[in-house]
Chains A and B, each alone.
Chain A
């Protein structure tokens, strides 16, 4: 019979250091790769797209929901009145870059109205967000 030597004494606790190492690595991974999700005023299903351009550092986000309502921070307004709200907000705040999160099932006419209004109040750049196509 083979002699394997004396049996090693069992540890009081399971050896947890490798587990903690892995978990810390996972935390670091999520910290680096992810971006914090801000609370969104409306659930928006973005249209699918293929083109991805560089995102500017700062832009105010305007939401166009599937219900035809426009959301800007805590303000909610029906799409046909949205140009007035956008005009007064952007003239007051002086932003030059706007990103629009428009639902894929929202009316394209509303989106065009919003963009037209932004152009008139000298917004220099409009960003439309899409989602990577499946």
Chain B
């Protein structure tokens, strides 16, 4: 019997189950390892060294973050959502304003971010961040031009 005389082998329908298994595994893998963009970015350009303002109309505005995370400006306590309005007032005080965020021991990072964001959103460019013990020396000198940190 020749090859041509042999009955044709009918091609079997390919089972897709294994491929689907693999594809589902891939899907689960990508779902698990992916992170979606909920992370945001706050950028700070660091100045080279301390600087003094040459602007005559200059104001150094201290904002205190207390140990209990309350935020004090000019002796008054403000909630985080009212900070933006207060920052506007601070900005209008002088042609050049440096905001000095003074952090007491025990204050948390979240409060610091609230203050920075409120300042940024009102267009305050010069932001200095100091620990209380470092800030005391600066604030006790009335003529100090402030330390720009932003």
The chain A residues found within 8 Å of chain B, CB to CB, are 12-13, 16, 19-20, 23-24, 26-27, 30-31, 33-37, 46-56, 64, 99, 102-109, 111-113, 115, 118-119, 122-132
Contacts and interface: CB of A to CB of B under 8 A. Distances in A.
B34 A46 contact: no
Contacts of A126: 43-44, 46
Nearest to B24: A23
Interface in B21-42: 23-24, 26-27, 30-31, 33-42
B42 A49 contact: yes
Given A107-B109, A112-B130, A119-B149, A35 B41 contact: no
Contact of B23 (A27, A111, A127): A27
Majority-rule SS of B interface residues: mixed
Given A48-B113, A125-B44, A30 B34 contact: yes
Nearest to B128: A112
Contacts of A48: 110, 113
Contacts of B109: 47, 64, 102-108, 111
A106 B69 CA distance: 12
Interface of B: 13, 15-16, 19-20, 23-24, 26-27, 30-31, 33-48, 65, 103, 105-113, 116-117, 120-121, 129-131, 149
Nearest to B50: A119
Contacts of A53: 40-43
A128 B131 contact: no
Contact of A130 (B15, B36, B113): B113
A108 B65 contact: yes
B111 A16 contact: no
Contact of A115 (B106, B108, B129): B129
Contacts of A132: 38-40
A35 B15 contact: no
Given A50-B121, A111-B112, A125 B20 contact: no
A13 B16 contact: yes
B35 to A, nearest CB: 5
B113 A47 contact: yes
The 7 tightest CB contacts between A and B, nearest first, are A34-B34, A30-B30, A52-B40, A104-B110, A108-B112, A47-B113, A119-B46
Nearest to B48: A122
Contact of A27 (B16, B26, B130): B26
B121 A51 contact: yes
